[in-house]
Amino acid sequence: MTVDAGAPEETGAAHQTLGDASHPPRFWRSAVVIATGIFVTGLGWPGLIGRLPFGLLLKNTLSLPPEKVAAFWAVATLAWYLKPLVGLVCDSIPLFGTRRRGYLIVGGIAAVIGWAAFAVIPRAYVPFLILMTGLNVALVVISTTVGGMLVEEGQRLGATGRLSAMRTGLEGVMSLAAGPLGGLLAAAPFAWTSGSGALVVGLVVPVTLSLHREPRRAVKDVAVWAAAGKQLRSIVRSRPMWMTSILLFLVYLAPGLQTPLLFYQQDVLKLDVRYMGILQFAGGAGVLGGSAVYLWLCRRLPLRLTLIGGILVNAASALLYLAYRSSTAALVIETTVGFVGVMGTLPLYDLAVRATPRGSESFGYALMMSVRNIAVFGVSDVVGSLLYGRFHLGFDKLVWINAGSSAAVLLFVPFLPVALLASREGKVQPET
C-alpha cells in the first residue's frame, strides 16, 4: 500500500527561467513558486480536497458501485497520463513570451473556471466526467511546469532527496487541510466544494504574477519538436530512465485499496463523513512525520538501502488494514500507514528525479510520473474495486493481495543501475 495523491546543470530554457542559484533572491522566488504549484495541484486536485464530496456523491447520489466509481476517476484523470506530451509543449513552446510564467497563469485561471463550474452543472455522470477531465487538464499544465522546475533545481544542486521530501511534506500538509475540510464539505451543499476548490487553485495566479518575474524574451524552440524522436530514443537508451519507469509501474500496480476503503468505511464501519475527514487528516500527519525522518535518512544512507527498506515497510504497512475494525483502530492505522508508507514513496520519487536525463527535465520526469498515474488510476484502483465490488472479494483478502504484490517488487531491484543507487543525498549525480 503506497501512500498518495507524482532532479545539475541547466540548459536553455531552464537557465532563462530560474536563473543562477548564486542569486539567492531569484532562487527564493522560484522556490516559492514551485512550492505553490505543488500545493495547489495537490490540495486543489479533486481527488484530495474533493475526495469525500465527489466520492460520496458518486456513491450515494448517483448510486454507482465501487468499480464504476474507480472507472470514473480512471477516465477523468486521463490528462495525468499525458503529462509527457504537456512537458514537451512546456519545454518547447513559449506562452506569452515566457517558458514557465505563461503556463502557470493560464493553467491557474482555467482551473479556477473548472472548479467554479461544478456549482452550476447538472448532477449527472456525463457532465461531471467531462468537466472533471477538463479541470485535470488545467492542473496537469501547472503540475508539469513546476515539475520541470523542480527537476532542474534538484539535479543542478544535488538536492533530489531534499526537494522530494519537500514535495511529500507539502502533500502531508495538504492532507492535514483536506481531511477535515473534505469531511465538512461532504456534509454541506456541493457548491461549497466547488468554491473551495476554486479558491485553492487560484492561489497560483497571484503568486506567479508577483514572484516569477520571467523576461518575455523566450522564442519557440522548433528544434525540440524536431528532436522529439531523438529524445525518445535517448530516453529508451537511458537504462536508469526506463528501469525506474518499470519499477514505478510495478510498485503502484498492486490492486488498490482507495475506492474499496471508501465503501468499507461507510457501508461496513458506518463512519460519519466528518470522521472520515479526520482519518484523512491523521494520514497527513503521519506523512509529515515520515517525510521528516526520510529527510534525515537520505543524507546518511545510500538510495539502495532506503529503496529496499521502503518497499518492505510499504508492503508491511498494508497488512495493518487487517485490523481496520473500528473507528479507533482506523485512526491509529491511518496515522501509522501515513508515517510508514511514505518511506516507500519518497525513495521512488528520489530515484525518479535522479534518473531523469538532462535536457529533457519536464518531459522525462513527466513520463515517469505518468507511468505512476496510469498504474494507480488506470489499473490499481480499477482492479481493486472490481475485485471488491463485482467479484465480492472480502476486504481482508484484498489487503493480502495488495501486500503480497507490493513485496514482490523487491525482485526487480537488482536490475536497477548500481551507480544510481549507491550515492547519498547531497552528491551531485552524473549525467544519465
Work out the average pLDDT over 34-44: 90
Asked whether the beta carbons of 385 and 260 are under 8 A apart, the reply is yes
> What is the C-alpha separation between 346 and 196, in angstroms, rounded?
29
At residue 2 the predicted structure's pLDDT band, cuts being 50, 70 and 90, is low
Work out the average pLDDT over 306-324: 92
> What is the C-alpha separation between 119 and 290, in angstroms, rounded?
37
Residue 61's H or E segment, with its range, is none
Share above pLDDT 90 across residues of the chain, in percent, rounded to a whole number: 45
Contacts for 194 with CB less than 8 Å, ≥ 6 apart = 115, 116, 117, 118, 119
* Residue spans per domain, the chain: 12-422
Backbone angles phi, psi at 426, to 5 degrees: 100, -15
Higher pLDDT, 156 or 136: 136
Please write the tens of the pLDDT for every residue from 76-126: 999 888 877 887 787 778 888 887 889 999 999 999 999 999 999 999 999
Give, in order, the Cα–Cα distances in Å from 278 to each of 5, 181, 261, 284, 429. 17, 9, 15, 10, 40
Please write the tens of the pLDDT for every residue from 177-222: 888 999 999 999 999 999 999 999 999 999 999 987 777 766 666 6
12-422 has which CATH code? 1.20.1250.20
Question: What pLDDT was estimated at residue 11?
Answer: 30
C-alpha 187 chain-centroid distance: 26
Asked whether the beta carbons of 45 and 211 are under 8 A apart, the reply is no
pLDDT at 372 over 70: yes
With CA atoms as reference, report the closest residue to 152 among 36, 30, 245, 246: 30
> What is the C-alpha separation between 185 and 15, in angstroms, rounded?
42
At residue 364 the predicted structure's pLDDT band, cuts being 50, 70 and 90, is confident
At residue 352 the predicted structure's pLDDT band, cuts being 50, 70 and 90, is confident
Question: What pLDDT was estimated at residue 218?
Answer: 67
> What is the C-alpha separation between 64 and 137, in angstroms, rounded?
24
**Number of helical (H) and strand (E) elements in the chain, helices listed first:** 22, 0
Exposed, middle or buried, 339 (CB in 10 Å: 0-12/13-18/19+)?
A: buried
Q: Which three cell numbers stand for residue 222?
A: 522548433
> What is the C-alpha separation between 30 and 19, in angstroms, rounded?
9
At residue 384 the predicted structure's pLDDT band, cuts being 50, 70 and 90, is very high
Work out the average pLDDT over 300-317: 89
Question: What pLDDT was estimated at residue 314?
Answer: 86
Work out the average pLDDT over 342-363: 78
Work out the average pLDDT over 253-260: 92
